[in-house]
Structure 1
Amino acid sequence: MRVNTTGTRLATMLMATTLLAGCSLLTSSDKDEESAPDIQEQQLYEQGRTALEDGSYITALNRLEAIDTRFPFGETAQQAQLELIYVYFKNGDWEDARAAASRFIRLHPDHPQVDYAYYLRGLAAWQAGRFSLERLRVIDIAKRDPGATRDAYGDFSELIQRFPNSQYSPDARQRIIYLRNLLAQHELEVADFYLRKGAYLAAVNRGQWVIENYPQADSTRDALAVMVEGYMGLGMDERARETLAVLIQNDPGNDQLKGRTFNPRHVKGKLRG
């Protein structure tokens, strides 16, 4: 059988040309790949920013998380991390928002917008506690687990201590007033439980805690009343009398002093007599 050598040579030349072209394309692709990361990072950031401005928080979350994962030291990394806290917050991912804020504060303590991270961390804790005066009375909220409440109080307190002139500090101060009263009320709920159980020393300690840690709270006068009852339960009449005198001096119109006696021993009449 006769072989067509001319056709064979032609096929070989075509194959070689194809391989060379492929190598050329691969080399070109490799060169593009070297410059692609910067372009990709910027594109991701712009897409994330656009989605954030449009309220498309899921899309913004995906883009910003991609930057945080793929370009942790890129030009837009710090701003992306900061905006990621806000996106978590808007998506209702309170724990993720707090974790991201804490991470940003740890990694970038001197960042010019680190006060914003503190503020968002506090807001996330605030929301995690589901503080809604329109739907729940303060007394109802006070009976719940105060973990998130304490976190928010600590976060906002740290913000105003570190950055008293921050644009976020005025709002933080207002929230602290509410949180302080809430935490104090919670402590008194626990103290009242101890009184009902006859655990008078524990009740006194709770009342003392409120006075020492939340001296500006509305419940400090009620804390004095709790302490009076606790001291009487312990048989410490002199301490009860002294505490009652402080209560009368600071809050003569307290509900505990009018129309109601201190349980369980009617100490009000006894101490005054």
Structure 2
Amino acid sequence: MHKKLLRCLVLAFSLFAVSGCGIIDMIYLPPAEDTAQEIFEAANDAMSEKNYVRAVELYNKLRDAYPFSPYTIDAELSLGDAYFLDEEYELAAETYKDFESLHPRHEAIPYVLYQTGMSLMKQFRSIDRATTELQEAYDYFNRLRQMYPDSPYAKGAEEHMQTCRKFMAEHELYIADVFWHMKKYGPAWRRYEFIMENFKDVPEVAEHAKEKSLAAYHNYREEQARETREKRQGSWRQWFTWL
């Protein structure tokens, strides 16, 4: 009888110990980490919901936690898309550039070149600002057109190249007009001439620059003649004053 009771007590204690360990584990052990697939799917869900900030967070988490996962490359590309859709164009351009550097032979490179160009072009805000990003965007679109002429993005790239050139021409025209309004006709004339020579592919701007160039040159020559007369008259006045 005593042996039977002892066995029951040992069994009960064992069961309690096992269940107690389970409870302890639940309380003290950290929860299992999400898998790469789970993070990727959650990021894609955030993209679908247009929660781009959350998507960026998750794509970065996947890239950092699982750098060798089969989902990581897609996450790197989608990270650029998330920045782009969130209108973080500078970060988008950097991310797309990084993707091209890391995966230069990836099948998505035509798309990456196109999106890099778009990200750079969208950083241009006004013709009174520098056109550095526009020129770089033009170069990316041109690379896409030359390297992947059969890509579905090639035609769009060519159209955006024309847009970049138009903005760059208008920027140069703006600077020339500033010189004109300041009555600095020499610099204005030279700027209009530069536009005529370098933006023949933007005929409406080049034609306007031609008209303004003639007027600026006329005013510039008159200005030079007036300065010459004033110098001569000044020297004669000095002569008579000396007498």
TM-score by length of 2: 0.68
Amino acid at match of 2:208: D
Pick from 149, 156, 159 the counterpart of residue 144 of structure 2: 159
Amino acid at match of 1:74: S
Which runs of 5 or more residues in structure 2 are unaligned? 1-9, 225-243
| Number of residue pairs the alignment of both structures matches | 206
Question: Does structure 2 conserve the Cα–Cα contact (< 8 Å) formed by 1:191 and 1:226?
Answer: no
Distance in structure 1 (CA, Å) of the matches to 2:186 and 2:219: 8
Distance in structure 1 (CA, Å) of the matches to 2:212 and 2:103: 45
Question: Does structure 2 conserve the Cα–Cα contact (< 8 Å) formed by 1:49 and 1:60?
Answer: yes
1:225 and 2:211 are equivalent in the alignment: yes
Question: Does structure 2 conserve the Cα–Cα contact (< 8 Å) formed by 1:229 and 1:264?
Answer: no
2:123: which partner in 1? Answer: 128
State how 1:43-58 maps to structure 2 within 5 Å.
43-58=38-53
1:84: which partner in 2? Answer: 79
Pick from 173, 187, 191 the counterpart of residue 188 of structure 1: 173
Alpha-carbon distance change, 232 to 96 in structure 1, aligned in 2, over 3 angstroms: same
Distance in structure 1 (CA, Å) of the matches to 2:108 and 2:212: 44
Distance apart, 1:155 and its partner CA = 3.1
1:94: which partner in 2? Answer: 89
Alpha-carbon distance change, 106 to 210 in structure 1, aligned in 2, over 3 angstroms: farther
1:177 and 2:162 are equivalent in the alignment: yes
Distance apart, 1:96 and its partner CA = 0.8
Distance in structure 1 (CA, Å) of the matches to 2:214 and 2:147: 38
Cα root mean square deviation, aligned: 3.6
Alpha-carbon distance change, 188 to 52 in structure 1, aligned in 2, over 3 angstroms: same
Distance in structure 2 (CA, Å) of the matches to 1:264 and 1:73: 70
1:133: which partner in 2? Answer: none
1:41: which partner in 2? Answer: 36
SS at match of 1:128: coil
Amino acid at match of 1:221: E
Distance in structure 2 (CA, Å) of the matches to 1:162 and 1:202: 39
Identity of aligned residues (%): 24
Distance in structure 2 (CA, Å) of the matches to 1:107 and 1:65: 16
Alpha-carbon distance change, 158 to 198 in structure 1, aligned in 2, over 3 angstroms: farther
SS at match of 2:35: helix
1:113: which partner in 2? Answer: 108
Distance in structure 2 (CA, Å) of the matches to 1:119 and 1:152: 9
Alpha-carbon distance change, 153 to 193 in structure 1, aligned in 2, over 3 angstroms: same
Pick from 206, 210, 220 the counterpart of residue 195 of structure 2: 210
Distance in structure 2 (CA, Å) of the matches to 1:182 and 1:168: 21
TM-score by length of 1: 0.62
Alpha-carbon distance change, 193 to 228 in structure 1, aligned in 2, over 3 angstroms: same
Distance apart, 1:201 and its partner CA = 4.2
Distance apart, 1:230 and its partner CA = 4.1
Distance in structure 1 (CA, Å) of the matches to 2:193 and 2:99: 37
Amino acid at match of 1:157: N
Amino acid at match of 2:59: L
Distance in structure 1 (CA, Å) of the matches to 2:198 and 2:110: 25
Distance apart, 1:150 and its partner CA = 3.6
State how 1:66-85 maps to structure 2 within 5 Å.
66-85=61-80
Distance apart, 1:142 and its partner CA = 2.9
Distance apart, 1:81 and its partner CA = 0.7
Amino acid at match of 1:226: K
1:251: which partner in 2? Answer: none
